[in-house]
Structure 1
Amino acid sequence: MVFHLLVDFFSRTLELLGWAFQPTLAALRKDPTLLIQPLALRRVVFTAIWTRLSDDVDEGARPTKKKLITPNAYGTVLELGAGLGVTMRYLDRTKVTKYIAIEPNPSMHIHIRRVAAEVGFSEYDGTLVIMTVFADQIGTVIERHSVDTLISVLTLCSIPRAESMLPGLVQYAVKPGGQFLCYEHVNNPIPTMYFLQRLLSPLWSTFMDGCAIGLPCHVWADRADDWETRDVFDMEGQTLDGLFIHKAGRFVRKSSERLY
């Protein structure tokens, strides 16, 4: 099983890099200084991959995201690492008044605006806000306790020091009684699979914009606050014989009278 898993991983890796080759070459021709800007170059590669891969990833996760996001998200929604903005398609517009997309990769913003136009969010009426900041900078651009629903979809894996950053973000941004919804790939509980996750993670992260495999993101979410309620569940239909194991969770903050 391990041999076949490794073959599949490296075959997939070559396929993804093949997708990125021509767009990256075109970007380098336009701006050769990307060769001395590793972060910017990494984003070019990832954008080329993710714009093709995202639909397949979203399709596989659709039942889980419909269960997690659609009935629960409300009010002002802030999404970490909004990517192409596909989470907006899961939001109930009768309950969500504003969508704030935190996306430090400017190449993604055109896609966020495109999806927003499809589902009825707009920068012109203030229902869409796009911020080019990192997660640890959110406290400088939004007011304290201004978010009803914080969302992270396949994002904690790529945030540096996410474990230590998340509690401060939740407790600053999310209103008392508000919630954190997350859907992440996590560590495989099978020791051999976990070893492979950590072994292959450095290679994967180089072209997937820092995405690390095998992190206990669900545990970080659980420890981010003294939650009123928590509900963590597995991605529907998944098995434990792969590198990407997913969990989803809804975590609700205590109300103000019990917070203070």
Structure 2
Amino acid sequence: MRLAASFGIWPDLFSALRVATLPTLGAIIREPSLIFRPTALSRQFMALVWAAFSSPTDEGARPTKLGLIKPHAKKTVLDIGAGHGHAIQYFERDAVTAYVALEPNALMHNEIRSRAESAGYTEMDGTLLIISCGAEDPAAIRKALDNAGLQVDTMLSIMTLCSIPSPQKTLARLVDDVLAPGGKLLFYEHVLSPRKDVAFWQRFWTPIWRLAFDGCRLDRPTHLWIQQLQDKEGNSPWSEWEVWGKEGEPEEHLWWHRTGFFVKRTDEGK
């Protein structure tokens, strides 16, 4: 792997530190207890980082997201780790009847509401639901969905599975307990490279990278974990799937992307 590519995290890391360090210190001065609440402190830092990074990151993946989301997102969409709600702009409004934003960082909720309302989804009419828990709490997710009278027909993960806790267990529970039979899981994620030299550097930099980006890991083979999922009976939950890469992306890339869709079986337990 070329040296320049292997050190590719540093421009983004320096940018994150530049935009978020001083404002985060200001937040600590205003609220000293943040020092003793690492999760809240990390979310404060990440909210500042994402305010600067989210739109350029979204723009860089626009063709890939269009090809994934627009033809496949239907009915009620659960956006795992919704961030600022950028996924909304790729919906066909007539096809997506409700948007459920799963976002534990409450500092991002106003951005979600703003984008959703611009696209015609509001809490007032029940077409927008914001859930504040993490993906690892499917019971809370189900309760919120049941209270709103919604079932998840499309589950969407855009650059999120890199940071959720216990990812394989969490994914299995979300698919088992939250995604409706016949529903689709759509994903666009940076994943562990199959190239050993790239994977070495992904693993090497992950401990540093995750500190600045709210637990984000470069070394998760998420696309393989999704494909290898098993339901409670030990069977594959999928009836069909398709996985592809990001067009024009070089192999020597610390953020090597996979995207695709998986369809949940309708004959569960058989």
TM class by smaller structure: over 0.9
Q: Note the C-alpha offset of 1:46.
A: 1.0
Say whether residues 1:236 and 2:247 are aligned partners.
yes
Contiguous gaps of at least 5 residues in structure 2: 230-235
The answer on whether the counterparts of 2:103 and 2:131 sit within 8 Å (CA) in structure 1 is yes
Q: Find the residue that maps to 1:125 and give its secondary structure.
A: coil
Matches of 2:263 and 2:15, distance apart in 1: 40
Provide the residue aligned with 2:237 in structure 1. 226
Provide the residue aligned with 1:136 in structure 2. 136
Provide the residue aligned with 1:90 in structure 2. 90
Q: Note the C-alpha offset of 1:90.
A: 0.8
Matches of 2:179 and 2:197, distance apart in 1: 38
The answer on whether the counterparts of 1:75 and 1:149 sit within 8 Å (CA) in structure 2 is yes
Q: Note the C-alpha offset of 1:259.
A: 4.9
The answer on whether the counterparts of 1:77 and 1:98 sit within 8 Å (CA) in structure 2 is yes
Q: Note the C-alpha offset of 1:23.
A: 1.8
Q: Select the structure with the greater relative contact order (CA < 8 A; seq sep ≥ 6).
A: 2
Say whether residues 1:72 and 2:83 are aligned partners.
no
Provide the residue aligned with 2:256 in structure 1. 245
| 118-127 or 22-31: bigger deviation | 22-31
* Amino acid across the alignment from 1:34: L
Q: Find the residue that maps to 1:243 and give its secondary structure.
A: coil
Provide the residue aligned with 2:222 in structure 1. 217
Q: Note the C-alpha offset of 1:6.
A: 4.5
Matches of 2:8 and 2:255, distance apart in 1: 13
Provide the residue aligned with 2:211 in structure 1. 206
Q: Note the C-alpha offset of 1:40.
A: 0.9
Matches of 1:112 and 1:226, distance apart in 2: 31
Matches of 1:65 and 1:242, distance apart in 2: 19
Contiguous gaps of at least 5 residues in structure 1: none
Q: Note the C-alpha offset of 1:53.
A: 0.7
Q: Note the C-alpha offset of 1:35.
A: 1.0
Q: Note the C-alpha offset of 1:32.
A: 1.1
Matches of 1:100 and 1:71, distance apart in 2: 18
Provide the residue aligned with 1:56 in structure 2. 56
Q: Find the residue that maps to 1:215 and give its secondary structure.
A: coil
Matches of 1:8 and 1:252, distance apart in 2: 35
Q: Note the C-alpha offset of 1:91.
A: 1.0
Q: Find the residue that maps to 2:70 and give its secondary structure.
A: coil
* Amino acid across the alignment from 1:198: R
Matches of 2:202 and 2:82, distance apart in 1: 24
Where in structure 2 are the equivalents of 1:50-199 lying within 5 Å? 50-142=50-142, 146-199=151-204
Residues 103-155 of structure 1, C-alpha deviations (whole Å, 9 max, x = no match)? 00000101101111111110000000001111121223325892100111101
Provide the residue aligned with 1:10 in structure 2. 10
Indicate the percent of aligned positions where both proteins have the same amino acid.
38
- The structure-2 alpha-carbon separation of the partners of 1:251 and 1:154, relative to structure 1 and needing over 3 Å to count, comes to same
* Amino acid across the alignment from 1:45: F
Q: Note the C-alpha offset of 1:58.
A: 0.7
Matches of 1:7 and 1:193, distance apart in 2: 11
Q: Find the residue that maps to 1:70 and give its secondary structure.
A: helix
Q: Note the C-alpha offset of 1:7.
A: 4.4
Q: Note the C-alpha offset of 1:65.
A: 0.6
What count of residue pairs does the alignment treat as equivalent?
259
Residues 19-48 of structure 1, C-alpha deviations (whole Å, 9 max, x = no match)? 112321221122111111111111111111
* Amino acid across the alignment from 1:3: L
Give the structure-1-normalised TM-score: 0.95
